[in-house]
Amino acid sequence: MTTAFDPRITNCRDLRTKREAFAVFRRWSSPRVIATGLVATIGLRVVIASWSWWDLVAVAIVVAINPFTEWWIHLHLLHGDPVTVGSVTLDNGVGHREHHLDPGEIRWLLLRGIDAAVFQVMIAMLVIGVTLPVLWLAGAPLLAPTVTAVTVGVAKLLEYEWDHFFFHTAYRPRTRWYRRLKRNHRLHHWRNEHYWLGVTNNLGDRVLRTYPRNKSDIPLSATARTLDRDPEDR
């Protein structure tokens, strides 16, 4: 007898179809927070109007830097050591370490709502910091294409959340592209945490030499689940 699907599932390994995955994904806070930000930026861009081919340039800039931004955040923020400033210790990777200990557990897999909001601000600042000087140097209009760039940046964050979530489900992707991305992300978790750092794509890995030609070239890591912590300290 087939039981009814329970959307309150908290572990991705219990999700076997895209419909089940989306039903669970949409009820968590981070997708809703990011989607709200995306709707807001789209609305602002529509209000500003002034469309031009510079919007395509802005899109191209964000798409070009995204693989390297994703790579850097994964390696240096999520896998980075805690930083102490005075009497305050900042540990950006605490939730990510829990995610490596139990990759399918959704509460560690997806961002918290507040973290999703903070990441949107960080990404907006990064996108503005890269796009605005290029537009200024080219003598292009600044406001409208920059808002376009921020919109694409937020959309890429939502893509990241979905892909990361989806790759931990039991569903087997039909396309070669997504099968490869899922395989590579599983290798990151189960073979060696220092490689295959990209999630939505692996261009950053290929350029920055964390994408081995063969998985057998990379040794099994004893800390893939603990992220360099002593297993006895768990």
In this predicted model, what pLDDT tens digit does every residue of 78-116 receive, in sequence order?
Answer: 998 765 555 544 555 678 999 999 999 999 999 989 989
Q: Is residue 79 part of a domain?
A: yes
Q: Is residue 199 part of a domain?
A: no
161 and 110 in contact (C-beta within 8 Å)?
yes
Query: How would you classify residue 24: left for phi > 0, otherwise alpha for psi between -120 and 50, otherwise beta?
Result: alpha
The H-or-E segment that residue 26 falls in is: none
Can you give the pTM of this predicted structure? 0.91
pLDDT of residue 3: 56
Q: Is residue 188 part of a domain?
A: no
What percentage of the chain exceeds 70 in pLDDT?
Answer: 90
Q: Is residue 225 part of a domain?
A: no
> Containing domain of residue 53, as a range?
12-173
Q: Is residue 139 part of a domain?
A: yes
Q: Is residue 46 part of a domain?
A: yes
Q: Is residue 154 part of a domain?
A: yes
Burial class (CB in 10 A: 0-12, 13-18, 19+), 188: buried
Q: What is the pLDDT of residues 106-158, one digit of tens each?
A: 999 999 899 899 999 999 999 999 999 999 999 999 999 999 999 999 999 99
Q: Is residue 230 part of a domain?
A: no
d(CA 131, CA 82): 30
**Number of structural domains, the chain?**
1
